Amino acid sequence: GGVGLFAVQLAKWKGAQVVGIASAKNEGFLKSVGVDALIDYKTTDFSKIPADFDAVFDSMASSEHTIPILKKGGKYVTITAKPSESLVQKHDVTATHFLFHSNAEQLKIIVNLIEQNHVKVFLDKEFKLTEAKDALKYQHEGRSRGKNVLVV
């Protein structure tokens, strides 16, 4: 979705190697955005992935799959529900629940990154205001490739 796509671009801008978790049908698109490798969540047995990741940014509430692939001392950051403390302790990682709070300074930085083509905002689909229920359903299905817009 839009948050994950933005996170990928920011991570690449900072020089990180990025592994995305998505279905294989999105691999070409995600690589064009900057993802270096893809884990297909539909076919991958996460228990077979070595605990070799330094950090995970989770925008889909998948801590039960992603915390175990972190190295000891790894960092788990989510914008969804906090993972269970027992899962965090079991894998000896740190977990942070992150909420976005915009302020003028942050917005200026983001606008600057967009203007300099370091990051791109992806718009997936437009919905009429009368289709707001459909827009919400579409968003919750997790198929979005960017931001969805209600047109007033």
CA dihedral in degrees (135, 141, 146, 151; nearest 10)? 0
Q: Which pTM was predicted?
A: 0.82
Domains of the chain: 2-121 (3.40.50.720), 123-152 (no CATH)
Sign of the torsion angle spanned by Cα atoms 46, 143, 80, 21: positive
Residue-level pLDDT at 60:
86
pLDDT along the chain (152 residues), means of 10: 89 95 94 96 94 94 94 95 95 90 85 92 93 92 84 93
